[in-house]
C-alpha cells in the first residue's frame, strides 16, 4: 500500500532457505568435503548441471506429490515452463540418455547440487538443500546395491557415526508388487498402494487397516523378506562387508521411478528418530527419453538431515576460520608496512588479514579473537627496526619473539600444515 512511509525490508532470508555466515559455511564445507572425499574413494566421478530444467522433465515420471505440490515452476520470457530442480535424478538420467551409446559402463557418478522443494519448513525439511547424489549405472545384478549401500554405510562412518547410531532399512518394490499384485486392477494403482504403505507408521494401526481394506477390498497382509532371494543375497553380502541392514516391509520411498530394492538410513537417537537419506534401484528412467534402458542404483543424502545428525550425536567439527594470522598495527601509519609483511607471508602459504582501521591494539586483538583467527602479531616501530615480531597464539595466550623468516614455519607447525 502507498503510505508515504517506505516499509523497511526484512533482513530474514526467503522462507525455508538459509544464509550461510562464515561459521555456517565452515560446517557446510565440512559436510560437502566429507561427502566428496568418500564418494571419490569409491571411484565416483563428479558431474553437474544447471539448476534450471524444463518442467516436463519431472512430469514424465517422478512423484505426484513433488510435481503437483512441491516444485518451483515459472514461465520464462520465451513462454517455456521452467522448474528449479527438486532432485538430481531426472537431470542425470537426461544427461546419460543424451550419450547413451558412448557410456563406459559401469559408470559411477556423484554430484552435490542444491535442490528446491516447496515444502512446509520443519526440522530436517527446508525449501533449499544440498544433496549428495551417488549413482551407479549399467549393473543389472545385486552387486550394484551391495556397493551403493556399502558406500552409504561408509559415508555415515566418515561423519564419525558409530554402528548403532544409525540403521539401514531395506525393502523391495518387486517383492511388494508380487505380494499385492492380486489386489490391483492394473499397475497404475501401485504408486497409490506404495503411498499408503509409506504412511503406515504415521497412522493409527486401525485407521491404516481399514483404509487398506476399503481401497483394495482385501485385508492387509504382511510381507516376508524370505520370499525374495535378492534381499537374502543382499543381506548376506553386506554382512560380509560388516554392513548391517534391516528388512522393512513398509519402506516404500516417494518416487515412482524406483523398480526394485529401495533403502533408507535412519537415525537411531531417541530425539532424532528420522530418515537421514535414501535411494534405490531405478532401471527404467531412461525410457522417458526414448533411450535404451540403463540399469541404475543410487541415493540422495541431504545436508540438512546430516547436520541434524551431527548435532544430535555431538559430531560437529569445531569452527576454525580459514585465516591463520591477523596483522595488527601500532597505529595507521604502519598499515603499509603490515601489508608488505602480509604479502611476504602469503607467498609462504599463510592466510593473512591486515588491520585497516584506526583502532587501539587491544581492540584489534579483540576483533581477531571474535573472528577466531588463531594468531596475531603487531607491526610497530620496534618490530620494523628489528624485523622480529611478537607472535601470539590467542587461544593459549602463548607469545614468542619470532624473526620475520620464522613466522610462517612457526604457525604452520602449530596448525599442522
Contact positions vs ligand HAM (CB under 6 A)? 87, 89, 117, 119, 125-126, 129, 131, 133, 135, 254, 275-279, 298-302, 304-305
Task: Give 119 or 369: the residue with its C-beta nearer to ligand HAM.
Answer: 119
Min dist CB 259 to ligand HAM, Å, is: 11
Min dist CB 9 to ligand HAM, Å, is: 26
Separation between Cα atoms, residue 279 and residue 262, nearest integer Å? 6
Angle, in degrees to the nearest 10, between helices 229-240 and 143-158: 40
Q: Are strands 114-116 and 296-302 parallel, antiparallel or unpaired?
A: unpaired
Min dist CB 270 to ligand HAM, Å, is: 20
Task: Give 114 or 235: the residue with its C-beta nearer to ligand HAM.
Answer: 114
Separation between Cα atoms, residue 29 and residue 37, nearest integer Å? 12
Task: Give 272 or 305: the residue with its C-beta nearer to ligand HAM.
Answer: 305
Q: Are strands 45-46 and 107-111 parallel, antiparallel or unpaired?
A: parallel
The answer to whether the CB of 262 falls within 8 A of the CB of 167 is no
Separation between Cα atoms, residue 314 and residue 160, nearest integer Å? 9
How far, CA to CA in Å, does 401 sit from each of 225, 233, 383, 407? 69, 65, 10, 9
Length of the chain: 417
Task: Give 58 or 330: the residue with its C-beta nearer to ligand HAM.
Answer: 58
Separation between Cα atoms, residue 281 and residue 300, nearest integer Å? 12
The CB density around residue 359, as the number of other CB atoms within 10 Å, is: 16
Task: Give 170 or 342: the residue with its C-beta nearer to ligand HAM.
Answer: 170
Task: Give 301 or 407: the residue with its C-beta nearer to ligand HAM.
Answer: 301
Task: Give 274 or 393: the residue with its C-beta nearer to ligand HAM.
Answer: 274
Separation between Cα atoms, residue 157 and residue 313, nearest integer Å? 12
DSSP state of 125: B
Min dist CB 362 to ligand HAM, Å, is: 44
Min dist CB 300 to ligand HAM, Å, is: 3
Task: Give 126 or 377: the residue with its C-beta nearer to ligand HAM.
Answer: 126
Q: Nearest-CA neighbor of 295 among 146, 153, 93? A: 93
The answer to whether the CB of 339 falls within 8 A of the CB of 329 is no
Task: Give 126 or 391: the residue with its C-beta nearer to ligand HAM.
Answer: 126
3-state secondary structure of 108: strand
Vertex 149: Cα angle to 166 and 44 (nearest 5): 120
Q: Long-range contact list for 70-76, CB < 8 A, 24+ apart?
A: 70/117, 70/118, 70/119, 71/116, 71/117, 71/118, 72/116, 72/118
Closest residue by beta carbon to ligand HAM: 302
φ, ψ (nearest 5 deg) of residue 290:
65, 30
Min dist CB 152 to ligand HAM, Å, is: 11
DSSP state of 122: B
Min dist CB 14 to ligand HAM, Å, is: 14
Min dist CB 169 to ligand HAM, Å, is: 12
Task: Give 276 or 286: the residue with its C-beta nearer to ligand HAM.
Answer: 276
Min dist CB 279 to ligand HAM, Å, is: 4
Min dist CB 38 to ligand HAM, Å, is: 15
Amino acid at each position: 500500500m502507498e503510505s508515504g512511509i517506505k516499509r523497511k525490508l526484512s533482513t530474514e532470508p526467503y522462507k525455508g532457505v538459509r544464509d550461510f555466515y562464515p561459521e555456517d559455511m565452515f560446517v557446510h564445507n565440512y559436510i560437502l568435503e566429507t561427502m566428496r572425499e568418500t564418494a571419490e574413494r569409491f571411484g565416483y566421478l563428479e558431474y553437474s548441471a544447471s539448476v534450471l530444467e524444463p518442467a516436463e522433465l519431472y512430469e514424465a515420471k517422478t512423484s505426484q506429490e513433488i510435481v503437483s505440490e512441491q516444485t518451483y515452476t515459472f514461465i520464462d520470457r520465451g513462454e517455456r515452463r521452467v522448474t528449479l530442480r527438486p532432485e538430481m535424478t531426472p537431470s542425470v538420467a537426461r544427461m546419460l540418455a543424451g550419450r547413451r551409446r558412448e557410456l563406459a559402463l559401469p559408470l559411477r557418478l556423484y554430484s552435490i547440487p542444491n535442490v528446491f522443494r516447496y515444502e512446509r519448513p520443519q526440522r530436517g525439511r527446508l525449501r533449499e538443500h544440498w544433496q549428495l547424489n551417488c549413482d551407479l549405472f549399467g549393473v543389472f545384478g545385486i552387486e550394484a546395491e551391495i556397493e551403493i549401500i556399502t558406500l552409504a554405510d561408509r559415508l555415515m562412518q566418515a561423519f564419525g557415526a558409530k554402528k548403532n547410531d544409525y540403521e539401514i532399512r531395506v525393502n523391495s518394490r518387486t517383492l511388494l508388487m508380487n505380494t499385492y499384485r492380486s489386489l490391483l486392477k492394473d499397475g497404475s494403482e501401485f504408486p497409490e498402494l506404495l503411498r499408503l504403505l509409506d504412511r503406515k507408521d504415521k497412522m493409527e494401526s486401525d485407521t491404516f487397516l481399514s483404509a487398506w481394506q476399503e481401497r483394495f477390498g482385501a485385508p492387509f497382509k504382511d510381507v516376508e523378506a524370505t520370499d525374495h532371494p535378492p534381499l537374502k543375497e543382499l543381506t548376506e553380502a553386506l554382512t560380509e562387508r560388516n554392513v548391517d541392514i534391516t528388512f522393512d516391509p513398509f519402506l516404500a520411498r516417494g518416487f515412482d521411478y524406483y523398480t526394485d530394492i529401495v533403502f533408507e538410513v535412519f537415525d537411531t537417537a531417541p530425539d532424532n528418530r528420522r530418515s537421514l537419506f535414501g535411494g534405490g534401484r531405478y532401471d527404467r528412467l531412461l525410457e522417458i527419453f526414448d533411450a535404451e534402458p540403463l540399469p541404475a542404483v543410487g541415493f540422495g543424502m541431504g545436508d540438512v538431515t546430516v547436520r541434524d545428525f551431527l548435532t544430535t550425536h555431538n559430531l560437529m567439527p569445531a569452527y576454525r576460520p580459514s585465516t591463520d594470522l591477523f596483522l595488527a598495527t601500532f597505529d595507521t601509519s604502519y598499515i603499509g608496512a603490515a601489508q608488505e609483511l602480509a604479502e611476504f607471508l602469503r607467498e609462504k602459504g599463510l592466510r593473512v588479514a591486515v588491520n585497516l582501521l584506526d583502532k587501539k591494539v587491544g581492540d584489534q586483538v579483540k576483533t581477531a579473537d571474535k573472528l577466531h583467527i588463531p594468531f596475531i602479531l603487531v607491526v610497530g616501530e620496534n618490530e620494523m627496526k628489528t624485523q622480529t615480531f611478537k607472535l601470539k597464539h590467542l587461544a593459549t595466550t602463548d607469545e614468542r619473539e619470532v624473526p620475520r623468516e620464522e613466522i610462517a614455519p612457526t604457525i604452520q607447525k602449530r596448525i599442522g600444515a
